[in-house]
């Protein structure tokens, strides 16, 4: 593999963006290799983690490649990003991001396609496309905007504003903030926990929740009732529920306490 590293740690697939000399900028070849590795992870793992090698997670689109494209080639490239990132956003596995350094442009679009994001204290976030004379093309107008809100994303794009990790947590861009160098460890820990869930539950969480968010209230509640009934009648759910009733597994504990 030229642009990615791959490691299987138990049930967790760990994908490393490995183009540090370009701040892990995403090219067409990068996307195609990414597509192959995602499919491999889906066949071998129950959860996944994406991180970046070097001092940054990902600085976004490879502009040196992009500037040579025709408008039609640019549209096709954008749609391919949508397709591949869609496998993360609404696919088979829960994906966790371990973020540090630059999470910029397409890097933020990639991070926004994951289910859970862990960032260390060095992480910073920006959408500089407006300053480059272009527009977001990897899903930010949908995924990133729904995380942080339209007004905040508009501000970032119009002014070139870069935000730190504490602001990103307040804006719901990241869910966990950890000290420098610990994002990958924490992301793998969380992914390993998610990998123990029932497969059908993880699939429903990944695929149903974002769709329900796009629905009206009545439609969302109607769909929820069917998914709840479907998952509750699976053999794995029956086994897990009986284990709880028989006190073979612990109850939910207070934060900081042991279950």
Alpha-carbon distance of 79 to 64, in angstroms, equals: 19
Q: What angle do the packed helices 71-89 and 28-44 form, to 10 degrees?
A: 20
Name the DSSP class of 14. Answer: E
Q: Which candidate in 129, 180, 199, 239 is catalytic?
A: 129
Task: Identify whether 238 is a catalytic site residue.
Answer: no
Q: Which of 70, 78, 71, 85 is nearest to 28 (CA)?
A: 78
Task: Identify whether 83 is a catalytic site residue.
Answer: no
Length of the chain: 259
Question: In this structure, what token pair is assigned to residue 31?
Answer: 């996307």
Q: Which candidate in 33, 109, 166, 180 is catalytic?
A: 109
Name the DSSP class of 90. Answer: T
Contact indicator for 53, 61 with CB cutoff of 8 Å: no
- Collapsing DSSP to helix, strand or coil, 167 comes out as helix
Alpha-carbon distance of 250 to 259, in angstroms, equals: 5
CB atoms within 10 A of CB 67: 11
- Alpha carbon distances (Å) from 142 to 46, 89, 156, 182, 238: 26, 12, 15, 29, 37
Active site residues: 109, 129
């Amino acid at each position: 593999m030229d642009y990615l590293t791959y490691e299987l740690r138990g049930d967790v697939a760990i994908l490393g963006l490995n183009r540090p000399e370009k701040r892990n900028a995403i090219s067409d070849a990068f996307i195609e290799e990414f597509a192959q590795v995602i499919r491999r992870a889906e066949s071998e793992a129950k959860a996944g983690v994406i991180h970046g090698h070097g001092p940054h997670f990902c600085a976004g689109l490879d502009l040196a490649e992009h500037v040579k494209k025709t408008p039609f080639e640019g549209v096709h490239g954008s749609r391919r990003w949508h397709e591949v990132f869609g496998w993360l956003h609404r696919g088979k596995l829960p994906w966790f991001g371990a973020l540090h350094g630059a999470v910029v442009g397409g890097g933020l679009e990639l991070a926004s396609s994951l289910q859970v994001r862990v960032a260390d204290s060095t992480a910073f976030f920006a959408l500089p496309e407006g300053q480059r004379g272009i527009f977001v093309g990897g899903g930010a107008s949908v995924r990133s905007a729904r995380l942080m809100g339209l007004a905040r994303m508009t501000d970032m794009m119009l002014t070139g504003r870069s935000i730190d990790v504490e602001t990103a947590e307040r804006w719901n861009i990241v869910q966990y903030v950890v000290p420098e160098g610990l994002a990958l460890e924490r992301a793998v820990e969380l992914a390993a926990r998610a990998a123990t869930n029932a497969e059908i539950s993880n699939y429903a969480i990944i695929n149903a929740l974002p769709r329900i968010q796009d629905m009206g209230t009545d439609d969302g509640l109607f769909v929820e009732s069917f998914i709840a009934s479907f998952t509750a009648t699976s053999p794995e759910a029956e086994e897990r529920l009986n284990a709880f009733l028989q006190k073979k597994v612990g109850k939910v504990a207070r934060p900081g306490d042991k279950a």
